[in-house]
Copies of this chain bind each other. A is one copy, B any other.
Amino acid sequence: MCGVFGVYGHPEAAKLTYLGLHALQHRGQESAGVVSSDGGRLYARRAMGLVHDAFSSEDLRGLPGALAIGHVRYSTAGGSFLKNAQPLAVDYSRGSIAVAHNGNLTNAEELRDLLEARGSIFQSNSDTEVIIHLLAMSKQKALEDRIADALTEVKGSYSLVFLSEQALVAVRDPNAIRPLVLGKLPGSAFPNVVASEPVAFDLIDAEVVREVLPGEMIVIDKNGLHSSSPLPPGPRRSCVFEYVYFARPDSKISGATVYEVRKNLGRILAEEQPADCDIVVPVPDSGVAAAMGFAERAGVPFELGLTRSPYVGRTFIEPEQSIRHFGVRLKLNTVGDTLRGKRVALIDDTIVRGTTSRKIVKLVRNAGAKEVHMRISSPPFRWPCYYGIDTPTRGELVASSHTTEEIGRHITADSLGYLSIDGMVDAVTRSPGFDGKRGEFCHACFSGEYSIDITAPSKSRQLPLLLV
């Protein structure tokens, strides 16, 4: 779960990248990085934390040139270290190259073993470093051919943005799993920005041109934009979870506004899993739009019965004498008497482990709710994602080993209902503006139908080197 951005041909390329990354901040808060080029060499800066904190004016002045790419990275379980921050940037035989990657390679470990056997050395545990090595070893001359060479060997999901001294290259995997969209700055003769989501364009006055196609490579340089398809386009399998949870509500994916899709998810959920309730209450912030749709379809009042603190950081100091619902209460609070005596339909987007849902249900009940009916605007989350979303193992996913009824009891809800896979897909395809097709989604995390043939996703070997 990351965000990427690239711009070509703007005198303040690094600043635009910084702003684009700010708009993509929800895709990753652990680290941020920008690499720029002045036509002759690359300049790089990566830092931990939010984009806003990671770059000072002086930092941006140190990133000159009219080309730049950037990356925001999500915090993953494995530990958060600067060496894993992107874009990666190295020197190789043809000069310098930088890359920002959203996605996950499923054969990274095999490739890494092969590369090491040929003498390669690795400085990070990122699968992205594999791509760079393959690119450097290609016998091709042209950058685009080297990239194509490298990507022919990798499997998995990738929305990639490369930067050389003189060109910007964007590539999307043949299944188009992770999003990537092309835009144009005002005054540019050709499209010259790429980003994970179109919200990155809104902030910098760029307009959306189109999505990057499955298996497409776009090269932007002094000759303008050149599109090619060096990789055989597979069947499109775009991640449906972007609609459910991950993308910003104001983003459009395949023509459909995420906010509208989420309301649809709620409407269909109300039809599939009705609840005898007095009010519909979302778990903020991600459940709000679905709850609005649910309430509308159910004809029951929508109430903001839970508030979410905007000030929650990563860790909080807890008193030794423990406090009830401490963890969840730092983030959520119930609103006065809004819930008292009510039968509440509580709307959330997913249940992962079940522990948080259990705490929230208790919190709502403590606030006086008579009944709590949990409704989830997606199907049971049963399978890990191998394509770039950081999910727990199967063992930790409560829905992979428990029935809906069992989960309902565990979280102490009076009833629990999930949306069906069909309902979820309907919610997307029936949204205004949607221009894709019904079968074009990856919903492996719900269905187990992995888009890419993976015999057995290689297990991450224990990280041999730990930078502290």
Q: Which of A63, A260, A311 has the most CB of B within 10 A?
A: A311
Asked if A321 is an interface residue, CB under 8 A from chain B, the answer is yes
Q: B residues within 8 A CB of A312?
A: 52
Let me know if B466 and A249 touch, CB within 8 A.
no
Interface residues of A in 127-184 (CB under 8 A from B): 132-133, 136-138, 165
Q: Kindly identify which residue among B18, B93, B257 contacts A337, using a CB–CB cutoff of 8 Å.
A: B257
Bound CA–CA A29/B313 (angstroms): 14
Let me know if B465 and A55 touch, CB within 8 A.
no
Number of copies: 4
Residue of B nearest to A95 (CB): B464
Q: Kindly identify which residue among B41, B92, B465 contacts A463, using a CB–CB cutoff of 8 Å.
A: B41
Let me know if B338 and A259 touch, CB within 8 A.
yes
Q: Could you tell me which A residues sit within 8 Å of B by CB distance?
A: 11-12, 15-16, 18-19, 22-23, 25-26, 29, 41-46, 50-53, 55, 57, 59-60, 62-63, 89-93, 95-96, 113, 116-123, 132-133, 136-138, 165, 199, 202-205, 248-252, 257-260, 285, 288-289, 292, 296, 301-302, 304, 307, 309-313, 316-321, 323-324, 329-330, 333-338, 432-433, 462-468
Shortest 5 CB-CB distances between A and B: which pairs? A257-B336, A119-B137, A93-B116, A62-B468, A90-B121
| Contact sample, A vs B, 15 pairs, CB 8 Å cutoff | A15-B319, A41-B464, A41-B465, A90-B121, A90-B122, A93-B117, A93-B119, A121-B133, A203-B323, A203-B329, A248-B307, A288-B304, A292-B302, A292-B304, A337-B432
